[in-house]
Amino acid sequence: MSRSIRVVFFDAANTLFHVEGSVAEIYLRHAVTFGFSQATGSLASIEQAFSRAFREAPPPIFAATDPVQIKQSERLWWFDIVHHVFYRVGMFERFDQFFERVFQVFEDPASWRLFPETVAVLTQLRAEGVELGIISNFDSRLFSVMRGLGIEQLIDTVTISSLAQAAKPAPKIFQLALEKHAVDPDEAMHVGDSLRDDVEGAAKAGLHAVLLDREDRQQGTGVRSIRTLDELLPRIDQL
């Protein structure tokens, strides 16, 4: 393996693991339980509303430094997102109870599934002497998800936006992750499923960037991409 790459960073959700089903399906199912009036097209409306809410939301960066306050800030950030969604598609009386429930659902490792190749690829990279890290805009629930999925011991460092006070695609979050490994940007690679947050963000910070494009949506664009994590090691060897 090429020794020019000393560290490989990964995005978390939709790169190493994915939600069981879809995010919109989970929100809809639990909303109905708490009194949401489902109609034809509700699922599509929720998906569209989430897309808009994420575009309009501020990055998940908070002034708080105390762990308890950070978790409260994360929770409020998500409350605003979900509230905006159901304000558009239909509010209901027990919304607060619904939010408490669904917030816990995404902290439960049972709601997530590893991609089939994740453990094998991480294990092989470690065997080759490569350090591994996560750079993610996920919140602190990520730690319980990683423990439950059994990959915590395979990852050397975790850098998340709410603790780093910076969010992808800003260079700062990548720089903070690099400092944890004491490496220069050109000695590191970042892999993720977002063209903007992962590829463009990492490239601007000076890292080698690889897009995980499982559905081959970026074919022909010239972006360095892979369909599965299994294709990552040959990409490293090519550098």
Which domains are seen in the chain, by residue range?
Answer: 7-16+115-238 (3.40.50.1000), 21-110 (1.10.150.720)
Distances (CA, A) of 32 to 22, 36, 48, 85, 151: 16, 4, 18, 14, 33
CA diameter of the chain: 58
- In this structure, the number of other CB atoms found within 10 A of the CB of residue 85 comes to 24
Residue 83 · residue 46 · CB < 8 Å? no
Quick one: DSSP state of residue 106? T
Alpha-helical regions (H) of 7-112: 23-33, 42-56, 67-89, 95-105
* pLDDT value, residue 1: 45
- Of 209, 193, 210, give the one whose Cα is nearest residue 16: 193
Say which amino acid occupies 112: W
122 sits in which H/E element: helix 118-127
Tens of pLDDT, residues 126-160? 999 999 999 999 999 999 999 999 999 999 999 99
Q: Please, which pLDDT band fits residue 220 given cuts at 50, 70 and 90?
A: low
Tens of pLDDT, residues 58-84? 999 998 889 999 999 999 999 999 999
- Region 110-139: mean pLDDT is 97
Q: Please, which pLDDT band fits residue 219 given cuts at 50, 70 and 90?
A: low
Q: Please, which pLDDT band fits residue 236 given cuts at 50, 70 and 90?
A: confident
Q: Please, which pLDDT band fits residue 3 given cuts at 50, 70 and 90?
A: low
| Residue 175, Cβ density class (10 Å: 0-12 exposed, 13-18 middle, ≥19 buried) | middle
